[in-house]
Amino acid sequence: MLSAFSDIGPALRCATKTQKQDGQIQSAGEDAIERMFMGSQYQDRISQIMGLLLDDMQRMLAVLANPAQQSADAINQANWLERLESQYAMAEQRRDHSANASTHPVNGGTSGGSPEGDTDFF
């Protein structure tokens, strides 16, 4: 009977060691997937922002290239920024837009600020 229990000890140690290794491998895999997911979200956000900015820059070039479109309303800063803000997909963009716009005399208000280093998921 004692010999049977003495054989179980090494087997349990081996099983525990294997289980720890499996857990470490699983944890490393989960970490890699999480990093990949976060990278994908970041790339998607940057793509959305860059697309919006490029479209807005094209709109500005079109207005500047056509003097007939250069009415006071077409190039009014407040109207231009309001139109840009209406195209934002994320609340973070609106928050940052409002915080940045508050530093311009045209818009007035107080600066809301935003925490640095936050990662927001959508």
Global pTM value: 0.51
pLDDT value at 122 more than 60: no
Q: What is residue 51's predicted lDDT score, i.e. its pLDDT?
A: 92
pLDDT value at 119 more than 80: no
d(CA 60, CA 6): 82
Q: Is residue 17 part of a domain?
A: yes
Q: What residues make up the domain containing 94?
A: 9-101
The tally of domains found in the chain comes to 1
pLDDT tens digits, residue range 80-108? 888 888 888 777 787 887 777 665 544 44
Q: At 21, list the tokens.
A: 């290794």
Q: Is residue 14 part of a domain?
A: yes
Q: Residue by residue, what is the 3-state secondary structure of 37-87?
A: HHHHHHHHHHHHHHHHHHHHHHHHHHHHHCHHHCCCCCCCHHHHHHHHHHC
Q: Determine what percent of the chain is predicted with pLDDT higher than 70.
A: 68
Q: Is residue 111 part of a domain?
A: no
